[in-house]
Structure 1
Amino acid sequence: MDKDIHIIGAGISGLGSAHFLKKSGFSSTVYESEGQPGGRAGYEKLEDGYFETGGKNFAESWTHFFEIANDLKMNELDKQHHAFNIIMNGELKTFRKTMGFAEVVTMMKDIGITGSLQFKRMINYKLKHKHQLNFDEGKLLEVEKEYDHAPITEHFHEKLCKGPLRMFSIIMGGAEPEETYYSNLLHIMPFGVGSLRTFSNTIGEFFETLASNHDVQLNTRVNKVLIEDNKIAGLMVENQDGEQRVDASKVLVTLPLHLLPNVIDLPEHVKEAIKLVRYFPVALINAEYESDIFTEDCQSIMFDDSFHIGHCSANRSYKLNSVRFTIAGKKGREALKLSDEELVKLAESEFSSILPIKSPRVRYHVKRHMGGLCAYGANHSQAKKIICDYVKSIEGLEIAGDYLEGHNMGSCLSAAKKAVNNFTQA
């Protein structure tokens, strides 16, 4: 058995796959076009630390993530902020993550009795079926058949969609409620997953430590996966020395789905299925100020669709002077054409209309994820099946990523684990 696996992409799916392969006695080579690992959960090195430029939080229930963290002996974790704040009806509303009677009453006033009952039923359904709301158990397929003929704005009260539901659709997929389907929403809602955590230092340290344990070739782009007679035959790889062919019989592609046609010559029906899986662009701004911007009671804000900012939060609960602004949603996408400085000033201006910034800015960094966040689509399981059926038809090819088992890093690792199992059990 060939135990050498070639992995395209050094994000969480790629490096997680390399980790699982090594534990199973397989070797791997990871190709990454950028100069550092991490992908869309990446980071920017500073002289005295890091800016985290993408996903950084993980849930207590992500067993694969904690397996890797424990293997790396990275166990110093911080809890995330204890409440969320949403702009509803033009006012900032605060809700604890474990809502008491006062918060429930406040939410009922803002989204109405109908919206409140719909929200309660949705949460109860998620909690009841949290272990079956995946693409293996069939429960998501039931939801798709019943609801995915129209987005959530056609099924739920307008105030509910513009408030709590938009919080989930924007944060997880950069999508507006009218771009989100109920199956997507149930899949991404973080109820029943346990408390959110983040590394005390930075997720950048996690990725660097993980990458150091494997053969990761940075600044190396895979231009083409070579397929002959429905079998993997090799790769066309380009680095500073030019392009060369690398012989390979087993390849794992962990790129975002919309990049898959760039490296594999796909049949037209597979290309059409890929187009059904949406990726919405976002920009993430890290900014530090001389003194605190957030307060102990307000460490995150979810904006409504009248703002270019989708949401923002303190980078850590003990670093209230360090702010992460996310430009997302329909209006946010319009602002991505601005320069970095213009984008920062726009974010600060909108933020200050809710919580005034009274301290000078020290430094900032803008990261534009133009490929964006995966927001799935209507009847996603049908598109997924077409894509996966093609992959199964090619001997030695596997895929992993945010479009298979879920949007978050934990789900990316679930997809990685499945791909690794297919290799190791072949």
Structure 2
Amino acid sequence: MMNLNTYAVIGSGASGIATAYYLRQRGFNVELIEQDDAIGGRIRPFLLGDRPVQLGGKNIGRTYNLFREFTTAMGNNPYEFFGLNSSQVRNNKLLTLDNSRRVKATLEFLSQGTPKDIWRFWNVCGAVMRNLQNGLLGGPYFTDFCQRLGDKPLSEYFSPNFCQVVIRPMTVRMNGAEPEEAYVGNLGSNLRMVLDTYDQLTQGMQPVLEQFAKTGPVRLNSRVESLMVRNGRVVGLRLRDLSGVQELEYAGVILATPASISSKIVAPQSSELAETLDSVNYYPVTVVVAEYARDIFSKKVRALVFNDTYPISNAGAYGINERNVIRYTFSGRTGRRYMKDGATSEELIRLAEEALNKYIPISGSDRIRYVAKYHPVGLCAYTSNYPQFTTNLKTQLSQLPGLYLTGDYIKGASLEACFEAGKACADQVVQFEELQVSQKSELAAISP
């Protein structure tokens, strides 16, 4: 089947949606291809009883300009305030960081570090606040920093206590990584999320995804078997769907899947590109949203972060006024051990309730229902030496014309970072097409 005027975008998570959206804005035909039965990836809603709930991507930062423009383009999708609220246990009492006392609480957290920790942390925070591009992978401040001092693990840059109190809550929740598994060059992408203030879509993500699905063709339940290459150029895909294997030709193929999945797809054509993609670290995560018969959190305390002795990394209220619905995240080294050993969702949620009950009263008898999702390739911890990584990608992709890459490992894992990556990928396609047109015009002009 020929689709020579159409680009294929593989993967319908935030990066894939963004790439398709920006290409369609520029007048390109795009077919979105998804192996699951619905689009959205980690931001797709799941049913908690008869209501759709978000297991990922629920909180939308005030600085998420691209993503907010997208939701506006998808119709009437209003936002409601959620703010910033997270607590830790310090000296047997809860220390809460929220919008009303952000400065005071931040100073209390920073007091756990050495003067060098505080100086270094304020410097990197300042870099992100001065230029939001430093809150994306490859930002100018962190690129220069790593070129001068090296891209070392965060555990080598900050003291052990500061890593546990300040750094780990960021890396384990956003990347599934311990401080020794995350790098200084990637810190800005976490800091941008911490420094932001958040809203939530009043109607959730469902109407946004439903409207987007109407903007162009979508193939569900379709898995990429391999790339089709002719004369050194990627010209299509072999897809397996419910009817069997199909060979489809496209103007170009865009892989908007996690780096480790893209690696398997490209490996037969380029072992070097596959090796580069495999250098990106991913860690598993399980997310559970549970409904209780009463409020668990309060207006003052809406989330609690746990240390590395627990399999749960974070528990938080689903919404500012939905404090009886709790979102649990299981990640980090201890969480991985439980997931690797095959702990069921029921076992994990019981462990979470036991941990939470030490500080906030909760009982499994109050639980009404829950929905859970395990992501074996869950949270992206990126890679070290981002400038060299992107240089390698560019060099290796140049040997496979017709193939493009985007995803959570390009600019960062937040929704906004994924939209930045999708937009950048769409720009690359546009530039290639414009170059092709220019070259054809030149050839026509010199032909007899």
Q: Which amino acid aligns with 2:77?
A: N
What's 1:298 paired with?
Answer: 301
TM-superposed CA distance for 1:81, in Å, is 3.7
Deviations 1:330-385 (A, max 9, x none): 01111112012111111111111221204610001111111111111221221232
TM-superposed CA distance for 1:231, in Å, is 0.9
What's 1:289 paired with?
Answer: 292
What's 1:171 paired with?
Answer: 173
TM-superposed CA distance for 1:179, in Å, is 0.9
CA 1:82–1:133: 2 relative to 1, 3 Å: closer
Deviations 1:237-257 (A, max 9, x none): 111110011122311110111
Say which of 274, 279, 283 aligns to 2:277: 274
CA distance in 1, matches of 2:319, 2:135: 31
CA distance in 2, matches of 1:10, 1:115: 40
* Secondary structure of the corresponding residue to residue 250 of structure 1: strand
Deviations 1:370-409 (A, max 9, x none): 1111111221221232123222332222111111112211
CA distance in 2, matches of 1:133, 1:361: 38
TM-superposed CA distance for 1:163, in Å, is 1.0
Q: Identity of aligned pairs, percent?
A: 25
What's 1:7 paired with?
Answer: 9
Q: Which amino acid aligns with 2:362?
A: I
Deviations 1:169-218 (A, max 9, x none): 11211111111111111232126964222211222332222123221111
TM-superposed CA distance for 1:85, in Å, is 0.8
CA distance in 1, matches of 2:139, 2:159: 29
* Secondary structure of the corresponding residue to residue 373 of structure 1: strand
TM-superposed CA distance for 1:47, in Å, is 4.9
What's 2:314 paired with?
Answer: 311
**Which structure has the larger Rg?**
2
Residues 1:23 and 2:25 are matched in the alignment: yes
Residues 1:345 and 2:350 are matched in the alignment: yes
For the 8 Å contact 1:148–1:378, the answer to whether it is kept is no
CA distance in 1, matches of 2:181, 2:288: 24
For the 8 Å contact 2:61–2:193, the answer to whether it is kept is no
Residues 1:384 and 2:390 are matched in the alignment: yes
For the 8 Å contact 1:10–1:216, the answer to whether it is kept is no
CA 1:384–1:151: 2 relative to 1, 3 Å: same
TM-superposed CA distance for 1:149, in Å, is 4.8
- Structure 2: which 5+ runs fail to align? 434-448
1:208-223 correspondence runs (5 A):
208-223=210-225
Q: Which amino acid aligns with 1:287?
A: A
CA distance in 2, matches of 1:88, 1:118: 22
CA 1:112–1:354: 2 relative to 1, 3 Å: farther
Residues 1:334 and 2:337 are matched in the alignment: yes
CA RMSD, Structure 1 to Structure 2 (Å): 2.3
With 284-293 and 4-13 compared, the bigger mean Cα shift is at: 4-13
For the 8 Å contact 1:15–1:211, the answer to whether it is kept is no
Q: Which amino acid aligns with 2:330?
A: I
For the 8 Å contact 2:61–2:197, the answer to whether it is kept is yes
CA 1:410–1:134: 2 relative to 1, 3 Å: closer
Residues 1:396 and 2:402 are matched in the alignment: yes
Deviations 1:279-324 (A, max 9, x none): 0111101100001010010001111112111112111111000000
Q: Which amino acid aligns with 1:407?
A: A
* Secondary structure of the corresponding residue to residue 123 of structure 1: helix
Say which of 250, 255, 260 aligns to 2:257: 255
CA distance in 2, matches of 1:205, 1:215: 17
CA 1:321–1:136: 2 relative to 1, 3 Å: closer
CA 1:53–1:266: 2 relative to 1, 3 Å: farther
Q: Which amino acid aligns with 2:6?
A: D
CA distance in 2, matches of 1:333, 1:53: 18
What's 1:204 paired with?
Answer: 206
CA distance in 1, matches of 2:21, 2:334: 39
CA distance in 1, matches of 2:77, 2:383: 36
Deviations 1:10-29 (A, max 9, x none): 11111222222222211111
Q: Which amino acid aligns with 1:338?
A: A
- Structure 1: which 5+ runs fail to align? none
CA distance in 2, matches of 1:403, 1:137: 14
CA 1:335–1:192: 2 relative to 1, 3 Å: closer
CA 1:395–1:77: 2 relative to 1, 3 Å: same
CA distance in 1, matches of 2:137, 2:348: 38
Give aligned pairs, total: 426
* Secondary structure of the corresponding residue to residue 186 of structure 2: helix
TM-superposed CA distance for 1:66, in Å, is 1.5
* Secondary structure of the corresponding residue to residue 145 of structure 1: helix
TM-superposed CA distance for 1:235, in Å, is 0.8
Residues 1:422 and 2:425 are matched in the alignment: no
What's 1:322 paired with?
Answer: 325
TM-score (norm 2): 0.89
CA distance in 2, matches of 1:348, 1:257: 34
1:403-414 correspondence runs (5 A):
403-414=409-420
With 172-181 and 1-10 compared, the bigger mean Cα shift is at: 1-10
For the 8 Å contact 1:87–1:163, the answer to whether it is kept is no
Q: Which amino acid aligns with 1:254?
A: A
CA 1:181–1:69: 2 relative to 1, 3 Å: same
* Secondary structure of the corresponding residue to residue 10 of structure 1: coil
TM-superposed CA distance for 1:35, in Å, is 0.6
CA distance in 2, matches of 1:45, 1:307: 27
CA distance in 2, matches of 1:53, 1:102: 31
CA 1:324–1:135: 2 relative to 1, 3 Å: closer
Residues 1:157 and 2:151 are matched in the alignment: no
Q: Which amino acid aligns with 1:391?
A: L
Q: Which amino acid aligns with 1:152?
A: L
